[in-house]
Amino acid sequence: MALQVGIVGLPNVGKSTLFNAVSNSAKAQASNYRFCTIEPNVGLVDVPDTRLTKLEELVKPNRVVPTTIEFVDIAGLVKGASKGEGLGNKFLANIREVDAIVHVIRCFEDDNILREEGAINPMGDKGIIDTELQLKDLESVEKKIARTEKMAKTGGDPKAKREYEILKQCQEHLEQGRNIRELQLSKEDKVAIADLFLLTDKPVLYVANVDEASLLTGNKYSEALIEGVKSEGAQVIVMNNTIEAQISEMEDPADKELFLSEYGLTEPGLNRLIRSAYNLLELITYFTAGVQEVRAWTIHRGWKAPQAASVIHTDFEKGFIKAEVISYDDYVKYGSEAAAREAGRFRIEGKEYLVADGDVMHFRFNV
């Protein structure tokens, strides 16, 4: 699955530094490319998963293929972007294409790094970007209202009437300075706005970029951000993006481990960010395991076996017969597929089976 997470933020908040940490990571694949400043930079990054390492130890395959997530470094946003200021519409168009947003917010003081917005104010910075996205969404919603209003009021079509009601609800919500994701529309109601790809409907993860001294404890700025986004139920990850960039450049695992220990860290903050972004999109992983290859596959939580098979090849879904399943815990407990089968922990599942996170699977199909 081609999943994208856009990294956004005001200028000079550490957004590009974070992206450089992602794209220079020892686990990052060589698919990063750069255009000019108005084009997004893209990095395809492995999702860290200790289960994959354990399966590699047990199976000893010829190769291991992790699942990946794509990070997009989108050019900085400024006040007035919804009306074309700065990179304006180009920036907003890039955000429309991503599945989720990582919003980097400056939570450190440094007189050497320019800041046009005045004193450090995490919630104020968040508000600038929220406002611009809301204004752009309001423009999109109002255009669709104009197209559907007549049909809803005179056509007698109940579907059109309901769509109009939802659009008006979104309009009122946005005019109050609130994001669409807070509206908690049902899946059925979201059909009315699905074609708009609303910016404020996308799930968001906040990164508090703190100074080195605040890396483990946070500071008053990161605390203000955490408190300020509680109503959204959003997660805030406290990181120092410069340190993360340094860690990502280290090729020797021993050097990396020593560097982490010096800062009292057990793993790079980047790993936490990637896992959190993965979870934010409500994704899970299943595995295929054989001598030729052990591989992780990304699917949405709640997918049934045929849908899960489709990420390997569409023919697997079309001709699905059955799935052979061993839970990850059972695979590790018994040490192999053969041992799990002998212990009665090898299952045959049909089309209605809901795939669980960590399932080790083989698919039988006929096309």
Detail the residues annotated as belonging to a binding site: 12-17
Both tokens of 40, joined, read 């997004």
What's the start-to-end Cα distance of the chain, in Å? Answer: 22
Task: Calculate helix-pair angle for 220-228, 122-154, nearest 10 degrees.
Answer: 20
Binding-site annotation: residue ranges for ATP: 12-17
Rg (CA), the chain: 23
Give the residue among 61, 131, 102, 114 at the shortest CA–CA distance from 208: 102
Beta strand 236-239 pairing with 204-210: parallel
Length of the chain: 367
- The token pair at 314 is 């569409």
State how far the Cα of 105 lies from the Cα of 321, in Å rounded to an integer: 49
Going by C-alpha positions, the residue among 58, 71, 3 that lies closest to residue 287 is 58
Tokens of 252: 């020797």
Q: How far apart are CA 199 and CA 25, in angstroms?
A: 28
Query: Which residue has 């320019």 as its token pair?
Result: 114
In order, the DSSP letters of 219-280 are -HHHHHHHHHTGGGT--EEEE-HHHHHHHHT---HHHHHHHHHHTT-SS-HHHHHHHHHHHH
Q: Which residues of 112-147 are buried (b: 16+ CB within 10 A; e: fewer)?
A: eeebebeebbbeebbebbbebbbbbbbebbeebbee
